[in-house]
Amino acid sequence: MKPISLSQGSGGRQSQRLVSAILEATGETPDFPLEDCAFLEKGLAMTIDGYTVSPLSFPGGHIGKLAVCGTLNDLACRGARPLFLALGVIAEEGFDEDELLGYLGDAAGICRQIGVRIVTGDTKVVPKGQLDRLVLTTAGIGKSSLPKTLGIQSIRAGDSLLLTGPIGLHGATIAALRYGLESEGLASDCAPLWETIEGILDFDGLRAIRDCTRGGLATVLCEWAESSGLGMEIEEAAVCVPAPVASVCDLLGFDPFHLACEGCMLIAVSPEETEPVLDRLRQSKYGEFASRIGIVTEKHPRWVTLNTRFGGSRILDMPVGEILPRIC
């Protein structure tokens, strides 16, 4: 008996280990390094994600919005235009049907906006007490027409690291609600980023994109460093941490680099195309605050370093242990 711990769901190193154990148990040998979605053939991309968040509804979104944005963003990260979605609903006996339909109606609206169709689905109801209200699962299919594959294997030393927006908004919003903190000015950044990403796909220098969900920006940076064998050097002052996020972190002892984002992506791009990509991002719907936050380097291979806003430098690591369970 090996009880699964909550920290294995936090998106950090312990989650990585659970995923490896599952791969071993299934005997599947996917293409490494693992990315947000898998390519099947001829640019066809597929992904799946389960969603469990408490509370179900929060400033800036709800479980329905989260469930479509998360999956659509996982496709967008690899340059695949999202086309089809499958939706699984598991509800607890007694859950309000109107509330469910409200979430799903909004979710479908987001899909329609970017031309995605929900084509298949499933519903289950479990007896009261066997589930906390509602769990959604979405699987997505998309198509990439890029001549090359975006991903970690394309990252080179000297590349710029860009961020499409501020960090920590989703995680801080959920944390503030859970701990009963004043959350004025705080809202989840949950958003469908396909249009933002589509606008930069024609740049040849684009290397890799990843959304900074569970485990936050730090986790993505560490995964990139460890999988590419390169170092990442980040300027803390260039990373936008909104004031309400910083104060939630101060109060609860969280690191904003470890908090989940649901509408913010990390992008690696060649040095030559850094400025034009940034310009394009800043004109896009969710990219107004895009910034260059660091570079890929051959120094300190496999480590992420942070040049702090006080002029010092230190390493930046993935979160260890559970930060805040059930956030997305």
Partner 1 sequence: MGERTRERVLAAAAALERLADRPLKFMEVCGTHTVSVYRSGLRSLFPEGLSLVSGPGCPVCVTAQEEIDSLIRLSAMEKVIVATYGDMLRVPGSSTSLAEARSSGASVRIVLSAAEALALAMDTPNRIVVFAGVGFETTAPATAAVVLQAARQNVENFLVLNLHKTVPAVLETLASDPELALDGFLLPGHVSTILGLSPYLPIPEKYNLACVVAGFEPDQIMAGITLLALQKRSGVFSVQCAYREAVRPTGNPHARELLETVFEESDSNWRGLGLLPRSGLRFRSAYSAFDARIRLGISDVPAREPAGCRCGDVLAGRISPFGCPLFARACSPETPVGPCMVSSEGSCSAAYRYGRGEPS
Facing residues of 268 across strands? Answer: 161, 208
Regarding 309 and contact with partner 1 (CB under 8 A), the answer is yes
Distance CA 107, CA 103 (A): 6
With contacts defined by CB under 8 A, how many residues of the chain interact with partner 1? 21
Q: Which amino acid is at 251?
A: L
Residue 166 identity (one-letter amino acid): P
Cβ proximity to partner 1, 117 vs 309, nearer residue: 309
Q: Which is nearer to partner 1, 44 or 240 (CB)?
A: 240
Site for partner 1 in 8-47 (CB under 8 A): 13-14
Find the shortest distance in angstroms from Cβ 297 to partner 1: 13
Instruction: Confirm if 264 and 166 have CB atoms less than 8 A apart.
Output: yes
Residue 180 engages partner 1 in binding (rule: CB under 8 A) = no
207 touches partner 1 (CB under 8 A): no
* Minimum CB distance to partner 1, residue 253 (Å): 6
d(CA 67, CA 49): 8
Report the chain's terminal Cα–Cα distance, integer Å: 27
Q: How far is the CB of 311 from partner 1 (least distance, A)?
A: 5
**Binding map of partner 1 across residues 227-266, x = CB under 8 A, - = no contact:** ----------x---------------x-------------
Is 312 one of the binding residues for partner 1 (CB under 8 A)?
Answer: yes
297 binds partner 1, rule: CB under 8 A? no
3-state secondary structure of 152: helix
Which residues are CB-neighbours of 111 under 8 A, at least 6 positions away?
68, 72, 85, 117, 118
Instruction: For residue 250, give the 3-state DSSP assignment.
Output: helix
Q: Cβ closer to partner 1: 17 or 117?
A: 17
From 64-72, 85-93, 111-119, 312-320, span contacting partner 1 (CB under 8 A): 312-320
We find the least distance from the C-beta atom of residue 111 to partner 1, in angstroms, to be 39
In whole angstroms, give the CA distance from residue 110 to residue 113: 5
Give the C-alpha separation, 192 to 166, whole Å: 15
Let me know the angle formed at the C-alpha of 272 by 229 and 285, rounded to the nearest 5 degrees: 95
CA distances (Å), 55 to each of 33, 249, 328, in order?
Answer: 33, 19, 10
Radius of gyration of the chain (CA): 19
Q: How far is the CB of 161 from partner 1 (least distance, A)?
A: 18
Among 1, 129, 243, 310, binds partner 1 (CB under 8 A): 310
Of 194, 263, 317, 323, the one binding partner 1 by CB under 8 A: 317
**What burial class does residue 131 get, using C-beta atoms within 10 Å of its C-beta: 0-12 exposed, 13-18 middle, 19+ buried?**
middle
User: Toward partner 1, which CB reaches closer, 282 or 314?
Assistant: 314
Q: Does 306 bind partner 1 (CB under 8 A)?
A: yes
As given in the structure block, the two tokens for residue 302 are: 């496999």
- For the bound state, the minimum distance from the C-beta of residue 244 to partner 1, rounded and expressed in Å, comes to 17
Please give the residue ranges that form the binding site for partner 1 (CB under 8 A): 7, 13-14, 237, 253, 300, 303, 305-315, 317, 320-321
